[in-house]
Amino acid sequence: FNAYETSKDAYNDHKIKMKDIPQLYLYSQIIAVSDGYETKYGSPTSDWERFFNWKGIFIDDDIRKEENGKELTSLEILIKGLFRKEHITEFINDFIFYEKSGENYIKKIAAYHQFYAVKKAVERTKKCVFEGKTPEDRRIGVIWHTQGSGKSLTMLFYARKILKELGNPLLIFITDRKELDEQLYSLFSQMSISKQAESIKDLQETIKNTAGGIIFSTIQKFSERNEEYPVLTERKDIIVIADEAHRSQYRELARNLRKALPNASFLGFTATPIELEDRDTYLVFGEPISIYSIDKALKDGVVVPIYYEARLVELHLTNEFIDEEFEEISEGLEHEMKENLKRRYARLEQLILNPERIEKIAKDIVEHFNKRIQEFEGKAMVVVISRKVAVELYNAIKKIPNAPSVEVVISGNKQKDPEEFHPHIRNKHQMEELLSNFKNPDKNPKMVIVVDMLLTGFDVPCLHTMYIDKPMKNHNLLQAIARVNRVYKDKPGGLIVDYIGIADDLRKSLSKYTLETIEQTLTDINKVIEQMKEKYDILSSMFYGVNYKDWKNLSSEELSNLTVSAYNCLETEDKKRNFIKNFIALKKLYALASPHPQTIKIKDDLKFFEMIKKMIVKYSTRASKEIARELEYEMNQLISKSISAQEPIDVFSLLSKE
């Protein structure tokens, strides 16, 4: 044991050994790193960001005491929880998956919330299948795992395990839109027993003639009110698994499915909080099995905070142009039907299409994003109201010097759609290549413009900014903004930039959900600014009598003397360590707040503190390896130009303004 070694040091050592002697890891499934205080586990090939904490011994809680009252360390929890004999064997057998990515495979392993959720869901499923006498008895329950926490992977782990436990049952996965159906099927397609239903007739025939395996279908194939569904089978080992189970359409789905599959059991998954007043979800699927809320995900480091910034462009918009029920009405419709419905909103589209407004937004997006990527690498997504707006905005951005590479992501038909859409309509292979490049931080495009596509179930960890110029509400809005909450390197948080005024809809959407979710989902940017000022004041007080405010105008010799004077103020090791501790905190707070106008005021001072930090690293003989490593945190996250705009705020602080 080395007091100066950290879990991250152990991880770095592991990566070196893996490179030098890869044979050592040939059969390794899981590795754990611990410094006695922090303990994490992961796949041998995982990045540090994908190493997890383990919580709970028998269930997914964070209780750290045994019956005798002894407080357990994180290492003891991992050993007694994950490495318990029955757990580790089950984990290796059922909770490791190799996902195909191009020509390679990515090894993925379960987090603790996925492990325990699947175990509970499997036990409930077996009880429903073997003991259920009525439809109420065959409601397995609902798994709510927040956006970005690996819901699709949880579904896959459940499917693989229940197929073994029940001896090849028939699983029917239902999604509410074709895009989600494609994404989910793509994940499961490596399992040879997976089949995608092409039509209602194909779905009915497949259910009738398939002994076991997995079928994927969209909700529309079951939700037609005038369709009479005959009894397809009375088998009891059929599990209906609904993705985004909060959708209102599942009420009709349940009615039709109960006719076709009278003995099927129902399981619901959702990444969006279920509304407080919504009992229909529970009536169809049963009570919650597992809840992994956003506050838990933030605490575990599974997702990053999301911030909101208003950069409204005048639209002279009133409610007469926006049907309050539009999102509810169109929620379950496919793209073509939704486009037809949007014709009712042609006047709104015409307002948004005003050339001056398009040009103004295009210039602002380019300026804002170029400054963002000076701070940390990543990508952006622009959400607009229609395909025509997407194309017009694309054309405007392309005319701007130094604009980032941008593409429009829409669906369409070259034989039916206007010619201006044709360059942006791609076949399946072209679309897959584009989306693969967008996920790669080193490839273009750096920005995509979308209407409905990619707003659910599409993960791009390096995506850190979303520009919204489209009215959205409820689940659609919450799912969309969650695209920017994925963990990626030193990404401090995701940013939502609002051009059309979604704040009220966001407030209304959030007010429908649990108090815990409302309070915990996002960090208040104003509190970050306050904390940043506090840390700055602490650091400034350490250099009393040293005038460093004008350091940029000094000669090299004068600057050298100034830094030595400042360094000498930290005459003891305790003072140096205190400086280091507060400097690390300040620069991380600065990164979270950027590009807030308040960061401009301390930017030069932060650079000066950076010079003092480098002197400490250079001259201090007792600095620990952890401090030295932390102090090499890239300043490109921090020292950059900031923009003058309305300050970003915590999305949930909007609730207090009602």
Range(s) of the chain covered by CATH 3.40.50.300: 112-292, 306-522
Element (H, E) at 649: strand 649-650
Averaged pLDDT of the chain: 80
pTM beyond 0.85: the answer is no
Residue 82's pLDDT band, with cuts at 50, 70 and 90, is very high
Rounded to an integer, the average pLDDT of 425-449 is 94
- For residues 652 and 519, the answer to whether their CB atoms sit within 8 Å is yes
Which residues are within 8 A (CB) of 261 and not within 5 positions of it... i.e. 6 or more apart?
172, 207, 231, 232, 233, 235, 238, 240
Residue 106 has pLDDT above 90, yes or no: no
Rounded to an integer, the average pLDDT of 454-460 is 87
pLDDT on residue 378: 93
144 or 381: which carries more pLDDT confidence?
A: 381
Q: Minimum mean pLDDT among 10-24, 179-193, 596-610: which range?
A: 179-193
At 271, the amino acid letter reads A
631 or 446: which carries more pLDDT confidence?
A: 446
Give the model confidence (pLDDT) of 516-568 as tens digits: 444 444 445 667 788 889 999 999 999 988 999 889 888 888 888 898 899 98
Residue 636's pLDDT band, with cuts at 50, 70 and 90, is very low
Q: Under CATH, which number does the domain 306-522 receive?
A: 3.40.50.300
How many whole angstroms from its chain centre is CA 531?
25
Rounded alpha-carbon distances, angstroms, from residue 103 to 19, 46, 99: 21, 18, 11
Residue 622 has pLDDT above 50, yes or no: no
Q: Read off the DSSP letter of residue 462.
A: T
Highest mean pLDDT pick, 111-120, 186-195, 325-334, 338-347: 111-120
Residue 95 has pLDDT above 90, yes or no: yes
Fold of 7-109: tt1808, chain A (3.90.1570)
pLDDT on residue 203: 77
Range(s) of the chain covered by CATH 3.90.1570.50: 7-109
Residue 387 has pLDDT above 70, yes or no: yes
Rounded to an integer, the average pLDDT of 440-456 is 94
Give the model confidence (pLDDT) of 394-428 as tens digits: 999 999 999 999 999 999 999 999 999 999 999 98
595 or 482: which carries more pLDDT confidence?
A: 482
pLDDT on residue 102: 67
Q: Which CATH superfamily is domain 112-292 in?
A: P-loop containing nucleotide triphosphate hydrolases (3.40.50.300)
Q: Cis link prior to 230 (omega < 30° from 0)? A: no
